Amino acid sequence: TGAFTYDPGFTSTASCESAITFIDGDAGILLHRGYPIDQLAEHGDFLEVCYLLLYGELPTKAQKDDFDYRVTRHTMVHEQMSRFFTGFRRDAHPMAVMCGVVGALSAFYHDSTDISDPYQRMVASMRLIAKMPTIAAMAYKYHIGQPFIYPKNELNFAANFLHMCFAVPCEEYKINPVLARAMERIFILHADHEQNASTSTVRLAGSSGANPFACIAAGIACLWGPAHGGANEAALNMLGEIGHVDNIPEFIARAKDKNDPFRLMGFGHRVYKNYDPRAKIMQKTAHEVLGELGIKDDPLLDIAMELEKIALTDEYFIEKKLYPNVDFYSGITLKALGFPTTMFTVLFAVARTVGWIAQWKEMIEDPHQKIGRPRQLYTGATERDYVPIAKR
Ligand code: CMC
């Protein structure tokens, strides 16, 4: 009943108007505020892209300096939060920890709850962008049993993150500029991707006027799934499971078998029916990182290259327009950078936070904004009378 359009998975429903990100999935084009992703990843830095996503234009030098300062002064988290971590088991998945700790920000920064005030919205945005890497690094350090490392504000966003993850108090940690640049690129490539599942979750949560930190925690929960942000972790696990290039045909056959739930992780995309432009940059970055670290024969990279070659020439994958997506190569790069697979989706969340906030801010500032309230096609029982329990 009800004259509603049935569109499971929202494959043909526009949920909002947005001026932030443009994707032409057939042509393999991704633009942020009109700028191609490859140009941003090649020449931009992450905070510059954050500014662009939030405010619509690339910053001038003065605007950039001011923005960097405003973000950087929020990199520390309330000291009480560090105790919050100890409530978790050490072997908890870091994404589970992220859901809890980021949601808990709403219990620490009460002033940011007044989302009707543009100044408080801005402060909440700065806090989230700045604190996500700190919380992510703390989740990692807690996981491996090392002490938390405080942020170093003279470093840029990506270098500071590597520092908080890999520095230890007993030794000097030197930032490798090639690796820091690769980290920066990974952050830029994942910064926003229009109305994907987690962004739509943030918008829906935010449409009720909920606390912005709680909305971002909702986005993190959605991102965790293997069909979304969890794909980078799943892709690397899959390469490990394949184990050797000789086993690739068996896994390709499984991916094509309709009776086997197995899918090639890191392949396919709801919107891109052409090569994901982010995957091209990620592939190049993976090679740069492996070259810098002197990893010549990485068995997983060999499997990835061969898998890509076979899949791109296979009739099934051609017909269904299944190309490698960004997560296919980001896993290999993150592994080479020294991150365990359980941290991969966490890094995606650090990067996507700005996209979530930019979309949340755009929604809150839209004069036509309404609470998100989808309807349904009811398929249950028709009206009937209550039967007392003794008579059932
Ligand atoms: N391996 C094998 N077959 C596939 C794959 C794959 N990776 N992806 C899609 N197909 C097939 C699917 O079986 C279906 O076949 P049929 O039409 O015969 O039923 C057809 O292609 C269309 O698939 P779909 O699931 O209806 O497409 P979708 O747009 O709903 O799903 C997707 C998109 C990304 C969830 C899916 O391609 C997938 O599960 N890929 C693997 C997971 C992955 O890499 N996800 C990361 C996405 S990119 C980053 C992000 O968004 O977070």
Residue among 211, 265, 208 nearest 235 (CA): 265
Q: Pocket residues for ligand 1 (CB within 6 Å)?
A: 9, 196, 227-229, 231, 255, 263-270, 320, 322, 325-327
Class of domain 231-337: mainly alpha
- For the chain, give the longest Cα–Cα distance: 77
CA-nearest residue for atom 36, ligand 1, is 268
Residue 3 Cα to ligand 1 midpoint, Å, equals: 30
The best mutation among 322, 323, 326 to test binding of ligand 1, ranked by most ligand atoms within 8 Å of the C-beta, falls on: 322
**For ligand 1, what atom is nearest to the CA of residue 9?**
30
The total number of residues shown for the chain amounts to 392
Residue 191 Cα to ligand 1 midpoint, Å, equals: 22
Tokens linked to 109: 């920064």
Among 111-120, 205-214, 372-381, which is the least confidently predicted range? 111-120
**For ligand 1, what atom is nearest to the CA of residue 348?**
52
368 given a catalytic annotation:
no
Query: CA dihedral defined by 376, 379, 384, 389, rounded to 10 degrees?
Result: -100
Residue 33 Cα to ligand 1 midpoint, Å, equals: 27
**For ligand 1, what atom is nearest to the CA of residue 228?**
52
Residue 274 Cα to ligand 1 midpoint, Å, equals: 13
Task: State the complex-level ipTM.
Answer: 0.95
Q: From the candidates 269, 276, 297, 368, give the one annotated as an active-site residue.
A: 269
The best mutation among 320, 323, 346 to test binding of ligand 1, ranked by most ligand atoms within 8 Å of the C-beta, falls on: 320
**For ligand 1, what atom is nearest to the CA of residue 320?**
21
pLDDT tens for each residue of 194-232? 999 999 999 999 999 999 999 999 999 999 998 888 888
Residue 257 Cα to ligand 1 midpoint, Å, equals: 14
Query: CA dihedral defined by 85, 184, 274, 220, rounded to 10 degrees?
Result: 20
pLDDT score of 353 more than 80: yes
Q: From the candidates 45, 68, 276, 327, give the one annotated as an active-site residue.
A: 327
CATH of domain 18-226+347-364: 1.10.580.10
Q: What residues does CATH 1.10.580.10 cover in the chain? A: 18-226+347-364
CA-nearest residue for atom 4, ligand 1, is 263
The best mutation among 267, 276, 348 to test binding of ligand 1, ranked by most ligand atoms within 8 Å of the C-beta, falls on: 267
How does residue 332 score in pLDDT terms, banded at 50, 70 and 90?
A: confident
117 given a catalytic annotation:
no
End-to-end CA distance of the chain: 28
Residue 8 Cα to ligand 1 midpoint, Å, equals: 15
pLDDT score of 83 more than 70: yes
Task: Tell me the mean pLDDT in the region 85-90.
Answer: 94
Q: What residues does CATH 1.10.230.10 cover in the chain? A: 231-337
The best mutation among 228, 270, 278, 326 to test binding of ligand 1, ranked by most ligand atoms within 8 Å of the C-beta, falls on: 270
CA-nearest residue for atom 32, ligand 1, is 269
> What local confidence, expressed as pLDDT, does residue 2 receive?
63
Residue among 226, 221, 228 nearest 196 (CA): 228
Residue 37 Cα to ligand 1 midpoint, Å, equals: 23
Task: Tell me the mean pLDDT in the region 129-135.
Answer: 98
CA-nearest residue for atom 18, ligand 1, is 258
**For ligand 1, what atom is nearest to the CA of residue 235?**
44
To the nearest whole number, what is the mean pLDDT of the chain?
A: 93
> What local confidence, expressed as pLDDT, does residue 143 receive?
94
Predicted TM-score (pTM) of this structure: 0.91
Residue 270 Cα to ligand 1 midpoint, Å, equals: 7
> How much of the chain, in percent, has pLDDT values that exceed 70?
99
pLDDT tens for each residue of 277-315? 999 999 899 889 989 999 877 788 889 889 988 888 999
Greater model confidence, 128 or 330:
128
Task: Tell me the mean pLDDT in the region 26-43.
Answer: 96
